[in-house]
Amino acid sequence: MSSAIDRIAEWAAQAQRGVAFTGAGISTESGIPDFRGPNGFWKRNDAAKFTFQNYVADPEHRKERWRQAVEGRSFMRSDVRPNAGHTALANLERAGAIRGVITQNIDGLHQESGSTKVLELHGTAKKIGCLDCGERWPAPVILERVVAGEDDPRCTYCGGILKSATISFGQQLPEDVVEEAHRWSLDADFFLVVGSSLVVSPANGFPIVAKRRGAKLAIVNREPTDLDDIFDEVIHDDAGPTLTAIVERLEALSPRRPL
Ligand SMILES: [Zn+2]
């Protein structure tokens, strides 16, 4: 495995337009369950109920969701912290090895660890927005209103329905974000996937696009994926220690780009 780390670090050192792509696997080391996994949120909750259409149509469903949120039974948790994997990716950006991170995660942990360019394909649980006028608030601002007694809080400007700024089932992915992620992938000379099983579209398309344009592809994921064959290096291990080792190797290779 050390030779795989060496090779990935060399690609990182040479990269001009590197890209990292992350999924739930990088955040499980922060204690956030992989909600698609065997013990995940969708195994414990009725996924069919959690559609965007149901949220808009059913006030009782919204009230239940707000109750879950203030009781810490949802993605809007505030008690989780970035781990070594997030820190390593922030360091790769600082070193110029990647231009930023494309992520499927909604936990905001990349930004918290110092990544400045993050494309959030599935939105963010750190914000709550109005579905009518688009106004947004930090999540705690609205959750405080729920705790104070509003069971279905509304927009203070237009009265519209409020919802976590995450993308629900039945809701379109943000087009501008997807397009930007596609451009990064087209342009990439180094593409590093971390903690994603690459089963959800359009996620699985990005490394394929990058590969076709000649990028070096590496994946760090605990489990094998259906796309492992297209990667130039595959490491089946935890993100934190593996990425930390890659960054240490990169520092040794390119002392002129201090972290
Ligand atoms: Zn509004």
The CATH fold of domain 34-79+123-166: SIR2/SIRT2 'Small Domain' (3.30.1600)
How far, in Å, is the centroid of ligand 1 from the Cα of 126?
18
How far, in Å, is the centroid of ligand 1 from the Cα of 147?
20
How far, in Å, is the centroid of ligand 1 from the Cα of 36?
32
Mean pLDDT throughout 205-229? 95
CB-count burial class (<10 Å; 0-12, 13-18, 19+) for 253: middle
Residues 243, 89: contact at Cβ < 8 Å?
Answer: yes
Q: Residue 201 carries which DSSP code? A: T
In the chain, ranges of CATH 3.40.50.1220 domains: 1-32+81-122+169-259
Mean pLDDT throughout 163-181? 92
233 pLDDT band, cuts 50/70/90, is very high
CA pseudo-torsion sign 257, 238, 197, 87 = negative
Q: What is the pLDDT of residue 49?
A: 74
Stated pTM of the model: 0.90
Residues 216, 4: contact at Cβ < 8 Å?
Answer: no
How far, in Å, is the centroid of ligand 1 from the Cα of 164?
13
How far, in Å, is the centroid of ligand 1 from the Cα of 129?
8
122 is catalytic: yes
How far, in Å, is the centroid of ligand 1 from the Cα of 62?
16
In the chain, ranges of CATH 3.30.1600.10 domains: 34-79+123-166
Residues 36, 27: contact at Cβ < 8 Å?
Answer: no
CATH class of 1-32+81-122+169-259: alpha beta
For 22-48, write each residue's pLDDT tens digit.
999 999 888 776 665 555 555 556 667
For 126-162, write each residue's pLDDT tens digit.
999 999 999 999 999 999 999 999 999 999 999 999 9
Please tell me which residue in 61, 86, 110, 122 is annotated as part of the active site.
122
Q: Among 88-92, 104-108, 155-159, which is the least confidently predicted range? A: 104-108
Residue 256 has pLDDT above 70, yes or no: no
How far, in Å, is the centroid of ligand 1 from the Cα of 132?
5
Mean pLDDT throughout 175-190? 97
How far, in Å, is the centroid of ligand 1 from the Cα of 53?
18
Q: Among 28-42, 74-88, 92-106, 134-148, which is the least confidently predicted range? A: 28-42
DSSP per-residue letters across 25-70: GGTGGGT---TTSTTSHHHHS-GGG-BHHHHHH-HHHHHHHHHHHH
Residue linked to tokens 């705790």: 147
